[in-house]
Structure 1
Amino acid sequence: MMYYLKCLVSIVKIIDTQKEKEIIYWFQWLVIDVLCRIIHFFRILCSNPF
């Protein structure tokens, strides 16, 4: 995970150094959102076995 984040940061630095923090901040929230959805999905899956 950290490897991909480092890659993203380096790509961002190449593209635009000023927007770096904005994109990292946005990416962080995207990751958090995706993780929450996955956890929620597995909770539903575990509580409702077929």
Structure 2
Amino acid sequence: MTQADMVPLMCGVVYAANVHPAATAQDRATNARRYLVVLLEGLRTRA
């Protein structure tokens, strides 16, 4: 994985958070935070 991979991953988080048209702005923000945590936890280096 390189730094260049982060842009598409972040775009994916934003897209996933906004894909449901009936979601409120608060729902989208909550989903984006949750998806971002999942993404970052998956990238974390384990000792």
**TM tier relative to shorter chain:** 0.5 to 0.7
Aligned length: 38
For residues 8-27 of structure 1, what are the structure 2 equivalents within 5 Å?
8-12=16-20, 14-18=21-25, 19-27=27-35
What is the alpha-carbon root mean square deviation over aligned residues? 2.1
**Residues 23 and 32 of structure 1: is their aligned pair in 2 closer, same or farther, counting only changes over 3 Å?**
same
How many percent of aligned residue pairs carry the same amino acid?
Answer: 8
Q: TM-score, normalised by structure 1?
A: 0.52
Q: TM-score, normalised by structure 2?
A: 0.54
Tell me which of the two structures has the higher relative contact order, counting C-alpha pairs closer than 8 angstroms and 6 or more residues apart: 2
Structure 2: state its 5+ residue gaps.
Answer: 1-8
Structure 1: state its 5+ residue gaps.
Answer: 45-50
After the TM superposition, which parts of structure 1 deviate over 4 Å for at least 4 consecutive aligned residues?
none
- 23, 29, 33: which is aligned to 2:41? 33
Query: Larger helix proportion, structure 1 or 2?
Result: 1
